[in-house]
Amino acid sequence: MHPKEALNADLKAAMKAGDSQKKDALRLLLAAIKQVEVDTRTELDEPQTFDLLMKEAKKRRESVDEARGAGRNDLADQEQFELSLIESYLPKQLTRAEIEAEVRQAITEAGAKTAKDLGSVMKIVQPRVKGRADGKLVNEVVKALLNG
Same-domain pairing of 103 and 51: no
pLDDT band for position 97 (50/70/90)?
very high
Same domain, 80 and 105: no
Looking up residue 134, the CATH number of its domain turns out to be: 1.10.10.410
Specify the 3-state DSSP secondary structure of 145: helix
Same domain, 41 and 106: no
Domain, as residue range, for 47 = 3-87
Round to whole Å and give the CA distance between 81 and 142.
30
Alpha-carbon gap, residue 53 to 122, rounded angstroms = 22
In terms of phi and psi (left: phi > 0; alpha: psi -120 to 50; beta: otherwise), the region of 3 is alpha
Q: Which residue has the higher pLDDT, 31 or 131?
A: 31
Per-residue pLDDT, averaged over 65-91, amounts to: 92
In the chain, count H helices and then E strands: 7, 0
Judge if 74 and 100 occupy the same domain: no
Collect all residues with Cβ–Cβ distance below 8 Å to 52 and sequence separation of at least 6.
Answer: 32, 33, 36, 44
Is the domain of 110 the same as that of 78?
Answer: no
Do residues 42 and 81 both lie within one domain?
yes
In this structure, the answer to whether residues 68 and 7 fall within a common structural domain is yes
Of 112 and 33, the one with more pLDDT: 33
Q: pLDDT band at 7, cuts 50/70/90?
A: very high
> Into how many domains does the chain fold?
2
SS (H, E, C) 107-133: HHHHCCCCHHHHHHHHHHHHHHHCCCC
Residues 12 and 77 in one domain: yes
The CATH number assigned to the domain holding 62 equals 1.10.1510.10
Same domain assignment for residues 53 and 10 = yes
Asked if 42 and 77 sit in the same domain, the reply is: yes
